[in-house]
A and B are shown apart, each in its own frame.
Chain A
Amino acid sequence: MQRSIIVYLLLLITGLDLPAQDPVTDPLITIVTEEINVRDLMEEISRQSGYNFSYDARLVDENQVVLFRVERMPLTRVLEALESKINLTWTIIGRQIILNAPRLTGITAEKEAATLVVRGYVTDAMTGETLPGATVSVAGTSKGVVTNGFGYYTINLPSGHYVLVFSYIGYQELTRSIHLQQDILIDVALDIGTIELPDVIVARPASQILEERDVETMILNPTVLQNLPEFGGESGLIKGLQTLPGIKTHSDGSAFFYTRGGEKDQNLIIIDDAPIFNPAHLFGFYSMVIPEFTKEIKVYKSDIPVHLGDRLSSIVSIRTKDGNLNQWQFSGAINPLVNRFSLELPVVRGNSSIFTSFRRSNFEWLYRQNNPNADLFFGDFNFKWNYRLGDQDRLYFTLISGRDALLNQIDSSGISWGNLASTIRWNHVFGKRLFSNTTLYTGSYRYRLGFADNAWESAIGTLSLKTDFSHYISASLQAAFGFEIAGFGFNPGTISTKNNLIDLPNIGKGSSRKQILYYEVQADISSRLKLKGGVRFSTWQNMGPAEVFTYNSLSEVKDTQQFGEGVYQAYAYPDPRLSIKYSINRTTYLKLSAGQYHQYIQLISNSVSPFTSFEVWLPSSPNIKPQRSRQVDLSLLKYFDKPGVEFSLATYYKALDNQIDFRPHANTIINPLLEGELRFGVMDAYGLELQLKKDEGKLNGWMNYTYSRAWRKTPGLNQGKIYPAFQDRPHDFALLVNYRCTPRIFFSSYFTWYSGSTFSSPTGFYRYLNQTVPVYSDKNNDRLPSYQRLDLALQFTLNRNLENRFQHSISISFYNALRHKNIVAVDFNKVPNHPDRPVVPANFISERDLVATQADLIRFMPSLTYKFKL
């Protein structure tokens, strides 16, 4: 493993330097004249480099004579030298060097006082898709803004002449010269990067602009996600999240993930604001989110914006594509295990479009011969409609549904689960500076375990209305405020039956409602210091009629309370958040943030299995206090001179209260006294995350290392002593390398190594009824072997002409290419069963020694996928 890491480190480090030595992308220039006029100088640079200058003649004094002497200097360095001579900024687009307006020195606070507003949407020129996270900067200044989640921006400037630079990863930079005398609306459309298929990041915002994104907010580009090595034909959201620092998945075949030491239910995945309660397909081997449907994936681990929340560890916010406004587009991917298809269709060209995608498993051939009555499948259907009502209003409708089934066709027994999420959204711009986003969304999750005559079902659902406002008060002051009203319904697991004689344990269903008010202000205190502060005030109310059990200190029922209709119990908490961002220099940022978070719903599962199973969600109640987290985070972000290269460091500490654990061997299914099975404690988590990232050029990727710990202490468990959480994995290393070998060949690899999860191993045994029973001492006293995996992928574009409308490619992936045994469980209850694998003994009369066994899931998984787009 160490050798693998070293090889990869060398590959990345040498790779990072490759572009600098590439005479094609950064040719070497030699100019040894002592004095030269600017016109001749530019001609000479053009001759030697092959790049042409483009500029507004009014900005450049071509007859200006300058002293200029460079020897074998890269073009970019030469242009920097030129910039210092003629006081013009420059941008390279394709083979063009564009000279921009002279730098405006020091836009002061006084000037900002009388500002005009430039606003608009940034979209994709080909599809009309809005681009969230695009950068709008003023050339020659440190001013810049980032478009919001709907591609909208507002920038405040004094009157004058400016060159605005619009940029977005994967798109060609666009500059627009403006003479600002009144508020103006500028919608711009960016052209996609020159290399289109398979997608690859070809450019990033110019290095000289102010980086607006939050240091801790991680953006998982859907392009990167689609290019990741696949498992069974899909790369998957969860596997993509796993590549980010601070996020750990449970193990192979799992959709559970842990963020900064938090529990698996402390992460919230929202798609266009609607929650997805279980993103897993096929127990976790696949993720519910279809990469082609996503436009932006943002991961908040700390300093979570006040308009999001109610989970302690992370919010994964996914914005879906709107659909091509200009022309229809059909794409798909065909694999022996899973097929998916997408259709984008303009309804009203330029104003309205739909995006729909469909995915279904097709692995019946794997099991049908041996199990003709089995029916095992999963599927997704996604739909998005958007309508542009005018410059001020846009409407969106999103529907996401997913279903899994594992059924016996004869009697319909088996298990099935499904998610349904839907959003209706209205964007409206009030005047020049107030942007609103009103959303009505619903999300539900249902799980069913069925037998011939009866079935066990659990469910959770929510319906919510929220409005978010973004107020661009001035160039240095922004505010965000809004409200949310949500209702929740819970079914913690009831049995239905066809037999009228059966009377079953009565499991009460419940309903709750949540109200949120929030306000946040972000102020530029100085050119170097930004301050953001806000509060999210939440209330949680449980609604009757309800029957509530109360428990004594031994978790035994001591009373039963009956409540009528209406609110019978409530919680209310203000969650303050504060962050300070300081620019050490133009390429280095330091951010300190602190915040408090509350969580009102929790997943009740004592399973250590990687697979999703028997999900029961419970609300906070008289017996379950809301979970709380207080987190402080210190982050550093450093951009290097080489475009697209950045280094980030983050360290954090979290203190979590009311953390749920379970009594030993808790009974969580069909148990009216489920709350009595819970134990409550505290958790401390802390860590250090390092990331070196290069997201530009032929060779890109990132390298992460995380050191983190998570400790729990729960009265009544582990003799009251502290113990490591399951997700306590001190070391975590990941390396993602993408390399475009040629315009038609793209290579991607992902390597990860991390400490194994904790588990309880026996410290002794005894014999009872001829069975060997383990004895345990400290909880989670042992650790599984470290996890190690290398995934490889090669995408080959079948088109010779990359400009063709019809594009198709094949992708070959190898999951766990090193065939490393990644252990998910170690057990002590089996006997050898040569030549087959060990089994649990059933005959207890024979004295056979038990052996320890280990289980791993996926040693090697090749995948071949054909993709097309037309």
Chain B
Amino acid sequence: MKIFERKIRPFRVKRQQAALGQLVLILTCVCIWSCVEEVEWPLQSGDNGQLVVEGILTNQQKIQEVRLSQSFDNLDSPVVPVENALVRISSGSETFTFRKSILEPGLYLSNQSFSADKDRIYTLSIFWKDEIYEATGKLSFVAPLDRISFDRSEGPDSLTIRQVAPVYHPLEQAMYEIFIEWPGTLLTSHARLFYYTFSTIDGNEIFRPATEEVYFPRGSRLIINKYGLDAEFADYLRTLVMETQWQGGLFDEASSSLESNISNGALGYFSVCAVISDTLIAR
């Protein structure tokens, strides 16, 4: 009996996004008759008020964060934070307890700085409304950052990001979180963007819907966090963007809820990620 092993070796895909962008332009010509417009759409009621967990434990020595909220009914409903939960992360004999943030409802901060270590299993435990919710994670691998390229256009906010990383890489999966601070307004981020590299290709990834372009002036400061993803978290994020950023393109797939790793029916995801960060000035 031979247990299946996926055969993969180093592979880089260059500038696929640029080529595909050209295709999207052409396809726009194909669909010159298409129209997207706002609509009032009555939704069926669901079993909302469920616990939502957003926790990414990193290998950076810092006050770690876990964000708790509840699911809600409508697109324009306010997010309801969870404020009376007990949160802790444990690994072996170590336990890190979390406290509520005074400044931001629903945000829980570790009582001490710590970082996730390799080869250890971390367990998130949340006690809320007489229920216990748990999830585990193990530190992922992260590869060095790629060079970010920009496109220029006319006007005062003349730059936009052309490419952060390849959209497909069979060896490496990653999420890129980019904060952009306009020059002269340090400490205030104007934009938070996400990019991804996955080991999968999806139709609605290639032919995405019309997406807002974020322009910023020269001299803006970009803070880049690259999160290495394990296969499970990568699959969660892939399905997340299929339901959010990629939804509404030419080749949509059937919609479905995301599969959480939190027990007891909670939504969201707990992951342990290796992160590398960089800061650059856009020129």
- The answer to whether B243 and A829 have CB atoms under 8 Å apart is yes
Q: Which residues of A contact B255 (CB under 8 A)?
A: 759-760, 762, 774, 776
Q: Which residues of A contact B235 (CB under 8 A)?
A: 665
In the complex, B73 has a CB within 8 A of chain A: yes
Which of B90-98, B120-128, B143-151, B197-205 contacts its partner?
B197-205
**Other-chain contact of A832, B14, B22, B38, B256 (Cβ < 8 Å):** B38
In the complex, A408 has a CB within 8 A of chain B: yes
B114 to chain A, nearest CB (A): 22
- The answer to whether B19 and A411 have CB atoms under 8 Å apart is yes
Chain B residues touching A, range: 35 or more
C-alpha gap A860/B39 in the complex (Å): 20
Give the contacts of B23-78 with A (CB-CB under 8 A): 23, 25-27, 29-41, 43-48, 50, 52, 54, 69-77
- The answer to whether A451 and B13 have CB atoms under 8 Å apart is yes
- The answer to whether B33 and A861 have CB atoms under 8 Å apart is yes
C-alpha gap A564/B242 in the complex (Å): 40
- The answer to whether A505 and B8 have CB atoms under 8 Å apart is yes
In the complex, B108 has a CB within 8 A of chain A: no
Q: Of all chain B residues, which has the CB nearest A776?
A: B257
Q: Which residues of A contact B45 (CB under 8 A)?
A: 763
Q: Of all chain A residues, which has the CB nearest B258?
A: A773
- The answer to whether B32 and A857 have CB atoms under 8 Å apart is no
- The answer to whether B3 and A844 have CB atoms under 8 Å apart is no
**Other-chain contact of B39, A456, A611, A853 (Cβ < 8 Å):** A853
B96 to chain A, nearest CB (A): 22
A623 to chain B, nearest CB (A): 13
Q: Which residues of A contact B1 (CB under 8 A)?
A: 559-560
Binary B-proximity of A487-523 (CB < 8 A = 1, otherwise 0) = 0000000000001011111100000000000000000
C-alpha gap A467/B170 in the complex (Å): 48
C-alpha gap A361/B8 in the complex (Å): 41
- The answer to whether B254 and A760 have CB atoms under 8 Å apart is yes
Q: Which residues of B contact A766 (CB under 8 A)?
A: 50, 52, 69-72, 267-268
Q: Which residues of B contact A44 (CB under 8 A)?
A: none
Q: Which residues of B contact A504 (CB under 8 A)?
A: 8, 11, 170
**Other-chain contact of A664, B6, B23, B44, B239 (Cβ < 8 Å):** B239
Q: Which residues of A contact B37 (CB under 8 A)?
A: 837-838, 853-854
Contact A853 to B194, CB < 8 A, known contacts A371-B26, A413-B22:
no
Q: Which residues of B contact A769 (CB under 8 A)?
A: 54, 194, 240
C-alpha gap A367/B32 in the complex (Å): 10
Q: Which of A371, A761, A766 has the most CB of B within 10 A?
A: A766
In the complex, A430 has a CB within 8 A of chain B: no
Give the contacts of B210-245 with A (CB-CB under 8 A): 210-214, 235, 238-240, 242-245
- The answer to whether A413 and B23 have CB atoms under 8 Å apart is yes
B13 to chain A, nearest CB (A): 7
In the complex, A585 has a CB within 8 A of chain B: no
Q: Of all chain B residues, which has the CB nearest A672?
A: B6
In the complex, A647 has a CB within 8 A of chain B: no
In the complex, A554 has a CB within 8 A of chain B: no
- The answer to whether A764 and B47 have CB atoms under 8 Å apart is yes
**Other-chain contact of B244, A606, A764, A771, A838 (Cβ < 8 Å):** A771
C-alpha gap A831/B248 in the complex (Å): 13
Q: Which residues of A contact B242 (CB under 8 A)?
A: 665
Chain A residues touching B, range: 35 or more
C-alpha gap A504/B13 in the complex (Å): 11
B49 to chain A, nearest CB (A): 9
Q: Which residues of A contact B43 (CB under 8 A)?
A: 761-763
Binary B-proximity of A280-297 (CB < 8 A = 1, otherwise 0) = 001101000000000000
Give the contacts of A397-425 with B (CB-CB under 8 A): 406, 408, 411, 413-415
C-alpha gap A504/B6 in the complex (Å): 10
Q: Which residues of B contact A373 (CB under 8 A)?
A: 22
Q: Which residues of B contact A799 (CB under 8 A)?
A: none
Q: Which residues of B contact A830 (CB under 8 A)?
A: 36, 209, 248
In the complex, A745 has a CB within 8 A of chain B: no
C-alpha gap A779/B257 in the complex (Å): 10
- The answer to whether B254 and A608 have CB atoms under 8 Å apart is yes
In the complex, A553 has a CB within 8 A of chain B: no
A105 to chain B, nearest CB (A): 63
Q: Which residues of B contact A855 (CB under 8 A)?
A: 34-36, 248
Q: Which residues of B contact A829 (CB under 8 A)?
A: 209, 243-245, 247-248
- The answer to whether A559 and B201 have CB atoms under 8 Å apart is no
Binary B-proximity of A826-867 (CB < 8 A = 1, otherwise 0) = 111111110001111111110001111111111111000000
C-alpha gap A857/B239 in the complex (Å): 26
Q: Of all chain B residues, which has the CB nearest A502?
A: B11
**Other-chain contact of A609, B14, B19, B252 (Cβ < 8 Å):** B252
A455 to chain B, nearest CB (A): 11
Q: Of all chain B residues, which has the CB nearest A497?
A: B11
- The answer to whether A827 and B256 have CB atoms under 8 Å apart is no
In the complex, A370 has a CB within 8 A of chain B: yes
Contact A607 to B240, CB < 8 A, known contacts A366-B32, A854-B37:
no
Binary A-proximity of B240-283 (CB < 8 A = 1, otherwise 0) = 10111101101111111111000000011100000000000000
**Other-chain contact of A853, B36, B191, B208, B211 (Cβ < 8 Å):** B36
Q: Which of A769, A844, A854 has the most CB of B within 10 A?
A: A769
In the complex, A655 has a CB within 8 A of chain B: no
In the complex, A182 has a CB within 8 A of chain B: no
- The answer to whether B240 and A768 have CB atoms under 8 Å apart is yes
Q: Of all chain B residues, which has the CB nearest A611?
A: B250
Contact A283 to B30, CB < 8 A, known contacts A764-B46, A855-B248:
yes
**Other-chain contact of B202, A406, A608, A669, A759 (Cβ < 8 Å):** A669
In the complex, A1 has a CB within 8 A of chain B: no
Q: Which residues of B contact A606 (CB under 8 A)?
A: 253-254
Contact A505 to B170, CB < 8 A, known contacts A376-B29, A452-B19, A782-B44:
yes
B14 to chain A, nearest CB (A): 6
C-alpha gap A840/B246 in the complex (Å): 8
Q: Of all chain A residues, which has the CB nearest B216?
A: A843
Binary B-proximity of A426-461 (CB < 8 A = 1, otherwise 0) = 000000000000000000000001011110100000
C-alpha gap A411/B23 in the complex (Å): 12
- The answer to whether B25 and A451 have CB atoms under 8 Å apart is no
- The answer to whether B39 and A765 have CB atoms under 8 Å apart is no
Apart from A285-B30, A842-B214, A842-B245, what 17 extra A-B contacts exist at CB < 8 Å? A366-B32, A376-B26, A408-B23, A413-B23, A452-B15, A453-B14, A607-B252, A665-B253, A764-B46, A765-B73, A771-B240, A773-B267, A775-B267, A821-B35, A839-B209, A845-B192, A851-B38
Chain A to chain B: the 5 pairs with minimum beta-carbon distance, closest first: A763-B46, A664-B256, A503-B9, A367-B29, A852-B41
Can you show 13 pairs from A to B with CB atoms below 8 A apart? Answer: A283-B250, A413-B19, A452-B19, A499-B12, A549-B4, A669-B201, A762-B255, A763-B44, A764-B50, A776-B257, A837-B35, A845-B191, A859-B33
Which A residues lie at the B interface, using CB under 8 A?
A: 253, 282-283, 285, 366-367, 370-371, 373-374, 376, 406, 408, 411, 413-415, 449, 451-454, 456, 499, 501-506, 549, 557, 559-560, 562, 606-609, 611, 613-614, 662, 664-667, 669-673, 726, 759-777, 779, 781-782, 821, 825-833, 837-845, 849-861
